[in-house]
Chain A
Amino acid sequence: MKKIFCKMWPVLLLVFSGAMAGQKLPVHTYKLDNGLTLVVSEDHSSPTFGLSIAYHVGFRLEPRGRTGFAHLFEHMMFEGTPNAPKGSFVKIIQGGGGSLNGSTRYDYTNYISTAPVSALEPVLWLEADRMRHLDFSEENLDNQRDVVKEEIRVNVKNKPYGLFFWTDLAALAFNKWENAHDGYGSFVDLDKASIEDVERFHHTYYAPNNAVIAIAGDVDGDTAYKLVNKYFGSIPAAKLPTLPDVSEKPNTKERFEKETDEHAMAPALAIGWKMPGPDSADYYPLAVLGEVLLGGDASLLYQKMVKEKQSMLSISGGMGWPLGDPLTFAGPSLMVAFGIYKPGSSAAQDTSDIQGVIDQLARQGIDPKRLKAVKTKMIADFYKQLASYIDRADYLAITQLLHGDANLVNRYPDLIRKITSKDIQRVAEKYLTVANRSWIDRQVAQQHQEKQP
């Protein structure tokens, strides 16, 4: 029951009615005896709350031979407990006027919800209840296995490009199984998942000392703390397994793969460069570099490839794209550039043109005015993301969980501001090289090619 960290500015809170005035978000952090960390950010501008509970387990920690299990498990968290039958969660949240979601990522799994503040207490009860135990039934598992398979059909198998720029690119670029395997999982592995696996996983990772809960909105820290302690305080801590070393060095030889797409009508290209984890001094410079190259219509690669050379129809990407951003990884990620290219162009030419832009940047550095504009945009985008309580709570939970410091959301603007042109040059030269590059040329299947005008 120690408050490990409490920044409270009661005067400020009153004067500014809670919202993020003075550009600093109020952040109070508490720790329960069982190891559960609570982060509260008070804001009374809307009578609602956003809540995120993040567990330190994601794709990288799922058991071997059980690809896709972390995500399947996430679905099981909505299937009821011995106290609250299947469906209770949605019923209570929606009946409370709110909405909820869950998602699985490389280093965490999060459960987010938002509602009018009158629903906060029942929601906390339900979150505590499913941290304590689940309804481990075969019927639920079979049902969710089917739902997950449909999800994979919708997003991967029946969809043009089928997320190859995530799953296939990671498989090509990374060496360690933790980083390289498909987080959606194979149907074979999903079929192998048993109810014992589900129980073991819950027992191992869904413990208070492996989680952070964050609440943003119309509630004060002490009230939130009392409620969280009331419902979560008696859940026992677990002995956590040691985390594997998932770090990887940049590749020393270029990797390439050609694929055929059953559904796409236009060919696409994805390039990934291996990036270090957030413990590296190069991490935030790389985040800024990603924005310089790929952040919207003013970015260098959009201007070069889509506007000037007109060889690509679109280009998007960045650090950790499309599954996250610089604040949401605890280990290595990829700098990804993905785009659809035009029939007259070739993936090899486009890749080489993209590399040309990067090499020039590494040699000559970046115009200070452009660098300032990019940083301003990144910081503004961050504020825009923090605008809704649910996203604010989610960032607080994830930064506390992965980086041990929810105040990172307040320090982030300065971390970005201090990046110099020299930093950009250094990291471009070190990581965005041909040798560290993996790329996939995704071509249109024969039967579709004839349909091209």
Chain B
Amino acid sequence: MKKNRIISMLLSLSLLAAAGNASSTKEKDAPIKGLPAYAQDKPLILPAVVEKKLPNGLTLWLIERPGLPLISMYLAVRGGSASDPENLRGVSDILSSTISAGTRKRTSRQIAEELQALGADISVGIGKDISYIGIDGLSSGTGQLLEILADTARHASFPEDEVKLAIENELQSIIASKSQPSYDLSQVFYTELFGKHPYAFVNPDPKVVARVTPKDLLAVYQQRFRPDQGILVMVGNLPTGKMAGLAEKHFGDWKSSGKKLAAIPPAPATTRQQFLVVDRPKSVQSTIYVGRPMPAAGNPDEFSLKVANTIFGGAFGSRLTQNIREEKGYTYSPHASVSDWAKGGIFSISASVRNEVTAATLTEIFYELDRLATTLPEDEELTRAQRYLKGSFLLSNETSSALASTLTGYWIDGKTPGDLAKYVPGIEKVRKQDVREMGRKYFASRKQAVAISGDAKAIMESLSLFGDIRLAKP
């Protein structure tokens, strides 16, 4: 998800394993004897969203959810890492780790301890086009939580010692992350796709990080965090009238001042086919990225693309997983995704495979990409992908915090709560021809760039059959 810029790179422990896959061509979809059919789908219950706007321009989207004694709130504003000043690319990384590290009246420790006593967590995130502060806690403490949220969104003070520590930790964390195969690879891949556009920026330059000052942070913070380009989303166990009153109390006198953030230009929409290798001596695996730039959020292909990507590689049951995991055993977790932002988007496939099968994996990826562009999917594949997407939509909005996050994403993409109702029909109207059309338009192998992190000595020769392979550094 595009908003989650804070990545815990070290400990994504997925011992959670396994899931097999869609049947192979051998057993051609014979019905399973005895298997009961799906029951009738229940009608979709959409949450009632109360929309308001405070006189200072702050948008409010509020939802009451009875049940668990919890509340989730997001204060989000336009402008993220793509809006970092040219000479301070990466300042957002320090900004996100210092917004909740002290305000005019609270130290970082006080913030942490007060939140703990209210059963709450705070998360600050900065994406390419969005910056947000989120708090999840017990609904009994909503007033206090909102006061803390307002304090961090309005009065962050960037204490000198906290900024110094954040910079030092960020520099260390860059060093630690560099050992991940995906770290340099991501930067190489994004640079190839987006060139000089700010979306190309993934990894902060340590030299820039080192010279960030509290004054820089305050300037960027004040330019972004203002009510006329912000939203407060609240979802939880409290009547929306109460939520609105509390929002008014803590944000009503917030003023916008100074120049509004400048819009960023559109990102590139295509790429050339390229083969790049980031050398990682002694690596026992190759990490393969294949992909291209895509259209921005709100494009007319949105739903067709979701369905096409689900059939291709966006779910366990997809063709890609079936092929390179279940039939060939090349990889544990191949994945393909389409993401969109305000001014552009990306399609990317990732797979980590053992060195010997690097070239063979690429062959299979290309085959599956071109198959999508040349033949129609089967009925069963299409229906399964559609049901999967519709169900995921329901499941992904099951909890208050997930719903709050979805709605925040909607707002930044220029959607309204009313768009929640368009999702299911949008997915349902996609036809087989639309999927093939997406294949031709976006997925064809010739339209993708390839970047691989691996032991160059072990893989270069077998890769040379694809053409010129360029060694790349971030």
Residues of A within 8 A of B330 (CB): 146, 150
Asked if A233 lies at the interface with its beta carbon under 8 angstroms from chain B, I say no
Residues of B within 8 A of A85 (CB): 23, 27, 32
Q: Is the CB of A90 within 8 A of B36?
A: no
Considering the complex, give the chain A residue whose CB is closest to the CB of B165: A310
Q: Is the CB of B175 within 8 A of A266?
A: yes
Residues of A within 8 A of B388 (CB): 94-95, 97-98
**With A87-B21, A384-B70 known to touch, is A122 a contact of B329 (CB < 8 Å)?**
no
Taken together as a complex, chains A and B put the C-alpha atoms of A157 and B388 apart, in Å, by 33
Interface residues of B in 65-91 (CB under 8 A from A): 65-70
Asked if A99 lies at the interface with its beta carbon under 8 angstroms from chain B, I say yes
Q: Is the CB of A154 within 8 A of B391?
A: no
Q: Which residues of A contact B (CB under 8 A)?
A: 16-21, 23, 43, 45-48, 71, 74-75, 77-80, 83-92, 94-104, 114-122, 125-126, 142-144, 146-148, 150-151, 153-155, 157-161, 163, 184, 218, 262-266, 295-298, 303, 306-307, 310, 313-314, 316, 322-323, 340, 342, 369-370, 372-374, 376-377, 379-381, 383-384, 386-389, 448, 451-453
Q: List 19 A-B contacts (CB under 8 A).
A: A23-B69, A75-B18, A91-B23, A100-B316, A102-B18, A118-B40, A119-B39, A146-B329, A150-B332, A150-B352, A153-B354, A184-B15, A303-B112, A314-B169, A340-B172, A377-B117, A381-B119, A387-B70, A387-B399
Taken together as a complex, chains A and B put the C-alpha atoms of A297 and B122 apart, in Å, by 10
Q: Is the CB of A155 within 8 A of B15?
A: yes
Q: Is the CB of B179 within 8 A of A122?
A: no
Interface centre among A91, A146, A296, A453, by most chain B C-beta atoms within 10 angstroms, is A91
Considering the complex, give the chain A residue whose CB is closest to the CB of B22: A87
**How many A-B contacts are there with CB distance less than 8 Å?**
307
B319-338 CB mask vs A (1 if < 8 Å, else 0) is 00010011101111100000
**With A155-B13, A380-B138 known to touch, is A298 a contact of B45 (CB < 8 Å)?**
no
Residues of A within 8 A of B354 (CB): 150, 153
Considering the complex, give the chain B residue whose CB is closest to the CB of A369: B117
Taken together as a complex, chains A and B put the C-alpha atoms of A229 and B320 apart, in Å, by 37
Q: Is the CB of B353 within 8 A of A19?
A: no
Considering the complex, give the chain A residue whose CB is closest to the CB of B315: A94
Taken together as a complex, chains A and B put the C-alpha atoms of A47 and B18 apart, in Å, by 26
In the complex, how many angstroms separate the beta carbon of A377 from the nearest chain B beta carbon?
5
Binds A, one of B146-154, B216-224, B277-285, B412-420: B277-285
Residues of B within 8 A of A46 (CB): 45, 394, 397-398
Q: Which residues of B contact A (CB under 8 A)?
A: 10-11, 13-24, 27, 32-45, 65-70, 108-109, 112-113, 115-121, 136-138, 165, 168-169, 171-173, 175-176, 178-181, 206, 282-285, 315-317, 322, 325-327, 329-333, 352-354, 380, 383-384, 387-392, 394-395, 397-402
Taken together as a complex, chains A and B put the C-alpha atoms of A365 and B413 apart, in Å, by 51
In the complex, how many angstroms separate the beta carbon of A29 from the nearest chain B beta carbon?
21
Considering the complex, give the chain A residue whose CB is closest to the CB of B30: A85
Partner of A45, one of B33, B67, B380: B67
Residues of A within 8 A of B65 (CB): 45
Q: Is the CB of B35 within 8 A of A126?
A: yes
Considering the complex, give the chain A residue whose CB is closest to the CB of B67: A19
Q: Is the CB of A307 within 8 A of B172?
A: no
Q: Is the CB of B119 within 8 A of A380?
A: yes
Partner of A95, one of B175, B352, B384: B384
**With A265-B176, A310-B165 known to touch, is A102 a contact of B19 (CB < 8 Å)?**
yes
Taken together as a complex, chains A and B put the C-alpha atoms of A94 and B20 apart, in Å, by 12
Considering the complex, give the chain A residue whose CB is closest to the CB of B168: A310
Partner of B115, one of A16, A87, A298, A307: A298
Q: Is the CB of A104 within 8 A of B317?
A: no
Residues of B within 8 A of A45 (CB): 65-67
Interface centre among B282, B316, B389, by most chain A C-beta atoms within 10 angstroms, is B316
Q: Is the CB of A143 within 8 A of B326?
A: yes
Q: Is the CB of B180 within 8 A of A160?
A: yes
Partner of A377, one of B22, B44, B116, B392: B116
Taken together as a complex, chains A and B put the C-alpha atoms of A78 and B17 apart, in Å, by 10
Q: Is the CB of B387 within 8 A of A95?
A: yes
Taken together as a complex, chains A and B put the C-alpha atoms of A319 and B468 apart, in Å, by 52
In the complex, how many angstroms separate the beta carbon of B38 from the nearest chain A beta carbon?
5
Q: Is the CB of B119 within 8 A of A74?
A: no
Q: Is the CB of B329 within 8 A of A117?
A: no
In the complex, how many angstroms separate the beta carbon of B401 from the nearest chain A beta carbon?
7
Q: Is the CB of A383 within 8 A of B285?
A: no
Q: Is the CB of B32 within 8 A of A83?
A: yes
Q: Is the CB of A97 within 8 A of B390?
A: yes
Q: Is the CB of A384 within 8 A of B392?
A: no
Taken together as a complex, chains A and B put the C-alpha atoms of A421 and B329 apart, in Å, by 53
Partner of B175, one of A20, A265, A297: A265
Residues of B within 8 A of A100 (CB): 19, 316
In the complex, how many angstroms separate the beta carbon of A62 from the nearest chain B beta carbon?
14
Partner of A147, one of B70, B317, B325, B392: B325
In the complex, how many angstroms separate the beta carbon of A182 from the nearest chain B beta carbon?
12
Considering the complex, give the chain B residue whose CB is closest to the CB of A386: B68
Interface centre among B27, B34, B391, by most chain A C-beta atoms within 10 angstroms, is B391
Interface centre among B14, B316, B329, B395, by most chain A C-beta atoms within 10 angstroms, is B395
Considering the complex, give the chain B residue whose CB is closest to the CB of A151: B332
Q: Is the CB of A19 within 8 A of B116?
A: no
Taken together as a complex, chains A and B put the C-alpha atoms of A115 and B317 apart, in Å, by 15
Taken together as a complex, chains A and B put the C-alpha atoms of A313 and B395 apart, in Å, by 36
Residues of A within 8 A of B20 (CB): 75, 78-80, 86-87, 89-90
Considering the complex, give the chain B residue whose CB is closest to the CB of A110: B16
Taken together as a complex, chains A and B put the C-alpha atoms of A87 and B326 apart, in Å, by 9
Residues of B within 8 A of A307 (CB): 108-109, 165
Q: Is the CB of B66 within 8 A of A19?
A: yes
